[in-house]
Amino acid sequence: MCTDALVIVGAEEEVPEVVTKAYGGDGAALPAATPDTADPETLPHDHTQAILETTKRVAGLLKASGKRFALAGSVAAFAHGLPASFQHDTDFCVRREDAEAVIEALENGGISMRRAPEDWLVKGHSDGEEIDLIFELARRPVNTELLDRAQIRAVDSVWMPVLAPTDLMDSRLAALCEHYCDFGDLLPMARMLREQIDWDRMYLDHRDSPLSDAFLYLLERLRVVEPREREDKP
């Protein structure tokens, strides 16, 4: 699974009070926003901007539905301050129990939805861009606790919940496999977000994964994270 967000929110930038109050630990949804209707003649030709426009449109529909969600993937990394380097889609985490209501909300908003062969996501299509609604992240179900940890960030001036840096890195490490092992994608994220990531959790959760463990060792050698004592294996 490939995943993707911008607008850097600096430490000194104050999140609007209406946003802070609207998406707190009590699980209340962000205020409903009416997404712009897509006019083919005004759609951006730039792929990066097209992904952002699709992300904003989907987020508006999800907020209007009242269901919990969080932006994931490369657009989420963008929302946390990384340069825009989007894949072919925009990803949103939703709870499986909310799937039918979310699908209906997006379809009513003019987005074409279809079931995927995988049982952990549903795919959508809007203005030439792909959308993934994800029910499992890092091989674990999307749940309320994960969504509670999401942070409110601005994506091209639209506020929305975004996966926390630790959960974002966790999902990217879990996606590493022999067919997809691009450390060049992960390294900038690790460098920029290293103070916000729970590295103890990363070591614990991925200690049995050779590729994830290799990346964590690379971070040690590059002095991105503190070296860890490693047990000698027979």
pLDDT value of residue 25: 45
Q: Which of 80, 94, 101, 118 is nearest to 196 (CA)?
A: 80
Task: Give the tens place of pLDDT for each residue, 93-107.
Answer: 999 999 999 999 999
**Which band of pLDDT confidence, cut at 50, 70 and 90, is reported for residue 110?**
very high
From-to residues of CATH 3.30.460.10 in the chain: 1-163
pLDDT value of residue 34: 42
Number of H helices, E strands in the chain: 9, 9
3-state secondary structure of 216: helix
Task: Give the tens place of pLDDT for each residue, 206-217.
Answer: 989 999 999 999
Q: Give CA angle at 123 (120, 127), nearest 5°.
A: 160
Question: Does the 1-163 domain belong in CATH 3.30.930.10?
Answer: no
pLDDT value of residue 11: 41
The strand ranges marked E within the chain are: 70-72, 89-93, 112-115, 121-126, 129-134, 136-137, 140-141, 151-155, 158-162
**Residue matched to tokens 């909310």:** 98
Q: Give CA angle at 173 (196, 167), nearest 5°.
A: 40
Task: Tell me the average pLDDT across 1-18.
Answer: 43
Task: Tell me the average pLDDT across 145-149.
Answer: 98
